[in-house]
Each structure stands twice: as structure tokens, then as C-alpha cells.
Structure 1
Amino acid sequence: MNDPLGPAGQGPRRAPTPSRIPAPLWLGAAVLAGIAIPAQGRINGALGLRLGDGLAAALTSFGTGLVVLVALTALVPSLRASARGILPAVREGRIPWWYLGAGLLGALFVLGQAATVGVLGIAVFTIAAVTGQTVSGLLVDRVGFAQGRVRRITGMRAIATVLTLVSVAYAVTPKLGTGIDPLLLAVLVLLPFAGGFGQSFQSAMNGASGTAYGNPLTATLVNFVSGTSGLALVWGVKAVVAGPARPLPGDFPADWWYYLGGPLGIVFIAAATVLVRHLGVLLTGLGMIAGQLLGSLALDVVVPAPGSVVALPTVIGTVATLGAMVLATLPWNRRLLRAR
């Protein structure tokens, strides 16, 4: 079978190594990892509002994450050894060179958080990002992108995907009273939609890269290097075109929690790198979507932001999303069902 990546020189398709850990446990890990996403969104959105510059907030988030990963790599011998295998993995064709740029997709997602969450709110951002992520998850699994196993779009997977989208939309309906002009709203949601759409491709590339490097944290490090570089380049172009402007160093807040966005990004990127090799991109995405809803619900209850609403649709939508995950992961056997 031909590799959908292209020429054979890009390396043979590698099937994920079978795992003895049951799928529900992997799915539970995806839910836990997904909880980090709304927390990161709330932090990056708040930093973007505080600085008055979403690009600066996104660059700060990626930069802090990169500092943490570089420190870990310097201190842990196994990570140093894995990092030395990055260039050989590319030279030997175990991964295509352009996988090194997977972090640019993550940078787009974080930029969407920092630039739009403060305006749209976490609810509308979640709808746009989840829609893009779910659609691309189906596509990535169907073609076996990034050396992954081809996973058929079964009727139950399609039903679970539609149920997830409907559940997310219903869960956030109490929060949609933004008062934003509809045309401006449509333009603004394109950024989180594009960020969510790119997440599935990023996770698939990271899964293949983590296998080639021998450590998921090394794939995460490469993500943060390329993402930070891309954002820094855009920042430089902006400075040249628009001239030096705020934020200045003195504008950055002293509160430590504004700088947790990067470390939280490490959590869900590294987790997705591992999970896609066991669950596939779609199920990993559904699990993390459930985590996003649970995390958003918890944040609105424990540390509510202005305008936060915890209503019955929010709870029902969250439970329905968890039900969609169960439907998608059960071992549905059509012959056995027909026999019964």
C-alpha cells in the first residue's frame, strides 16, 4: 500500500505498537490532558488583554514553555540522548523534514487563544476550535496521515462525531450573548477554527516524531522551537512594518500565573503525542474535547470569569460529550450485532 505522505523516500509507514493498556484508560488520559486546554486559554486570553497584544501573549506562552523544555533536556540524560537523534531521524527518512514545523500549527492555536478569547469568550472559542479539530480528526484518521494506521469512518464514529459537535454547541449556548457584530464574529472565529483544524495534523506529526526520537518530550521540544521561531518572526515583521510599540518590558505583569500557559501547553502536546499512537487522532481529539468541557465547567465554578454562566445545558452538553466518547470507543462488531 502506498504511503499517503508521498514518495517512498520519506520512509515506510510505521504501524503503532500494540498496547496492553485498555483503550478506556488511554481515553481517560486524553480527558485529563484536555483539561489543560481551557486553563491555558483562560491564561493566554487574560495575558493578551493585559498586554493589549495577542501576538505578544502567544509569543510569551511559547517562550516560557521553550525555556522549561530546554532546561529539562539539559538536566535529564535520556532527553539529551533523544534530542541528539532529531537530525539522524530526518536524514535517515524516518520522518519528513517538514514535521519539524509542526509547532507552527500549535502557534496558530495559541495565537487564536490570546487574540480572541478575551473578545469572544472561551465558549465561542471552544465551538470554533472543536469544530475544526473534529473535522480534521476524521480526515487524518481516514487517510492514515503521518504514518498512522488508517481508521475507517464507521457509522458509529460518524454518529459520535456529530453528537460531540451538537453537545459542545448545546453546552455553551448559555454563554453566547456576546453582543458582537455578526460579521466581526464570523471573521474572529476563523482563527480558532483554523487553529483547531491544525491540531489534528499537529498531533499526528508529533506522534510519528515521538516514535522516531524515542521520547514524546523531544517531539514537544521541537514543537516549541518551531512555534516560538514562527511567532518571533511574525513579531519582527510587525515591528518593522508598524514600528516599535507596546508592550514594553515594563508592561508585563508580575503575577506568576500569567506565565503558566507554556507549561500547560507542554502537558497537552506531549500527551497527544503519545495518545494518537494508541487511540488514533479522532478519539484522542474527542477525549481532549471532553476534557476541555470539563475543565471549562470547573473553571467557571471555581474561578469564574466575568460573564461566566454555569447552567443546565452546560452540564447536559458535557455529559453528552462523554457519552459520545463511549460510543466511539466501544468494540462495535456489526456481524455480532446483526446476529443478536
Structure 2
Amino acid sequence: MKRLLRALSYTACAVLGGSGVAFQASLMGDIAAERAALPTSTAMFVIGSLVLAATVVCIPRARHATLGLPGLARRRQIALRDLLNGLGGAVTVVVQAVTVGPLGVAMFTLGMIGGQIGGGLALDAIGSAGRRIPVGPGRLLAGALVMGAVAVASASAIIAPSPLMLGLAIGGGVIGAWVGAASSRVHRATGSLPAAALVNFAVGATGLAIVTVVLGQGGATLSTLLEPRLLPAAMLGIVAIGVSTLLVVRLGVLGLAVCWTVGQLATAIILDVLRSGAFTWLTVVSASLMLLALLLMTLRAPSARQPKPTT
């Protein structure tokens, strides 16, 4: 019973995290449509980095963990590729900003989730999040049901999507699945969630800033920093990386992707209904598939045994 309740709590938190990602995608898409995708993404990462840096400075344990990162890297207690996971997060956010407008929230979600579930299958098999988790028929069926739910929900909104945009969304999903696992490894090595999140945002902000300067969009990025909607977008991004970092080792990459998807899709449906006022039977079918997938994923949740970070 305790294991079931724990699995339910993990599932609920992951669903809420996915809902936040959908809201962030909508915000970033709107801002990028008015300005430009690259300056918008760079400004969001810079704002998120500043918020996290202030948090780390105010928490002695997080400050100590952050200052100890170079030593951990020298002693090979943490891999360089894991410290660079923020570059993957930056790519994901850019993809989000570029593709949400042309594809729409629902189709963007379909592509991203396809990439996350496919990537999750491979990453769980090799133990990327800290332990190998057998996929099993139940978890595989849950992933298939979620993909079906996304496809059903997107059916009425699909109007000859650009193969390039859809491919970018799928690739962003694969990268996003890896980012959560890599950030979890940084968390276990440092024992500090704020430090792990700061690594993600600071590295992402640095990479994006270099690109904007090279492309001559540095001035546009500075003006975009004053956009008030970027602060809530950054906060949603911080919550998302925190939730995925904590839960990926408990649910597995595939489990997190399934729960994440349900939150994203449910929110995307609500946003689309609010914008268009349309509500069809496809929504009911999609919601039913999502609930069944969540039930399967909760009942098939992996054991809670995993390496824990020092605190």
C-alpha cells in the first residue's frame, strides 16, 4: 500500500510538471512570435540563471555544492557531459520556441512526446538515470497509449505539418529525455537540487549567449530581457528541471515521459479549447487513453530503491 501511495505521489508531481511545461511552451511561443526565437530563449535562460544564482548564494549547502563542482569533475566523480546538460536544455527550449507557432501546441506536443518516449525506452535500458529499468509490456503499453492519446487529441488540429518542424520537435523530445537523466546524475553527485538546476541554466545561457553574439542578435537579446512574461516562463522552467531531476530516477525516463506527457497534453487541450472554444468527442477519447496510461504506469512503477544524494 505504501509503495502504491508513493507511486501515486510521484505520478501526480510528474503530471503537474508536464502541465507547467505546456504553459511555458505557450508563453515562449507567444513571445517568440512577437520577437525572435533565439533572443527569447537566451533571455529566458539568463533570467532563470540569475534567479537560481541568487537562490544558491542564499543557501549555504547549495553554495558549497556549487563551488565543489570543479573538484568533482577533476576527480571524475561527475562526467563533463553531465555538466553540459544545460546545452541540451537550451536546444529543447529553442526548438519549443521555433516550432510551437508553426505546429500548434497539440502537434508540437505530439512530436516532443514521440521523441521523449522513444528516447526514454533507450535510456532506461542502459540505466542512464542511475539504474537499469526493464521496459516490460505494461510500461511499453502505457507509452503507446499516451502516443495514441496525443495523436487523437491532435487529429483535428493536424493540417499538413512541416516535416522539418515535426522532426525538430521529435529531436527536441529525445534531447529533453537525456537532459533529465543527466541533471539527475549531477544532483546525485552534488547532493543539491539548486546546484544541479543552476548548472543546467547557466550552461544553457552561456551557450545561447555565444550563439546570439555570433549571429548578431545580442542587442535583441538585451531588449528581450525586459519582457515581463519571461520571468514566469523562467520560473516554470526551473520547476520543470527540478521535478524531472528528482523524479526521473524514481519513475525511470520512460515513466517520467509518460506522466509528463499527460500533464502537457491535458494542459494543451485546455489551452486550445479556451482559444478556439471547440470541444469534441476526440477530447473524451484522448482523456480516457491518458487515464489508462497513468493507471498502467502507476501500477507498474519501478521499485523505489535507488542511489540517494547526500543531503
TM over 0.5: yes
Q: Which amino acid in 2 is paired with 1:151?
A: I
Post-superposition offset of 1:308: 6.5
CA RMSD, 1 decimal: 2.2
Equivalent of 2:76, from 75, 93, 96? 93
CA distance in 2 between counterparts of 1:20 and 1:108 reads: 36
Q: Cα deviation per residue 1:268-303 (whole Å; 9 max; x = unaligned)?
A: 1111100012111111111111111122233335xx
Post-superposition offset of 1:233: 1.7
Post-superposition offset of 1:234: 1.5
Aligned pairs, number? 299
CA distance in 2 between counterparts of 1:210 and 1:119 reads: 35
Name the structure 1 match of 2:188.
211
Give aligned-pair identity as a percent: 31
- For residues 102-141 of structure 1, the aligned pairs below 5 Å read 102-141=85-124
Post-superposition offset of 1:310: 3.5
Name the structure 1 match of 2:309.
none
Post-superposition offset of 1:91: 2.1
Structure (1 or 2) with the greater helix fraction: 2
Task: Say if 2:145 is the partner of 1:163.
Answer: yes
Post-superposition offset of 1:77: 2.0
Name the structure 2 match of 1:256.
228
CA contact (8 A) 1:175 1:308 kept: no
Name the structure 2 match of 1:328.
297
Post-superposition offset of 1:230: 1.3
Post-superposition offset of 1:245: 8.5
**Structure 2: unaligned runs, 5 residues or longer:** 302-311
CA distance in 2 between counterparts of 1:87 and 1:318 reads: 46
Equivalent of 1:174, from 135, 153, 156? 156
Task: Say if 2:277 is the partner of 1:269.
Answer: no
Post-superposition offset of 1:309: 4.0
CA contact (8 A) 2:43 2:222 kept: no
CA distance in 2 between counterparts of 1:217 and 1:20 reads: 28
Post-superposition offset of 1:88: 2.4
Equivalent of 2:34, from 50, 57, 62? 50
Q: Which amino acid in 2 is paired with 1:114?
A: A
CA contact (8 A) 2:138 2:300 kept: no
Equivalent of 2:285, from 312, 316, 330? 316
CA contact (8 A) 1:172 1:314 kept: no
SS of the equivalent of 1:94 reads coil
CA distance in 2 between counterparts of 1:109 and 1:156 reads: 28
> Cα–Cα, structure 1 residues 259 and 324, in superposed 2: closer, same or farther, change >3 Å?
same
> Cα–Cα, structure 1 residues 81 and 263, in superposed 2: closer, same or farther, change >3 Å?
same
CA contact (8 A) 1:168 1:318 kept: no
Task: Say if 2:253 is the partner of 1:284.
Answer: no
Task: Say if 2:201 is the partner of 1:229.
Answer: no
CA distance in 1 between counterparts of 2:144 and 2:113 reads: 12
- TM-score normalised by the chain length of structure 2: 0.89
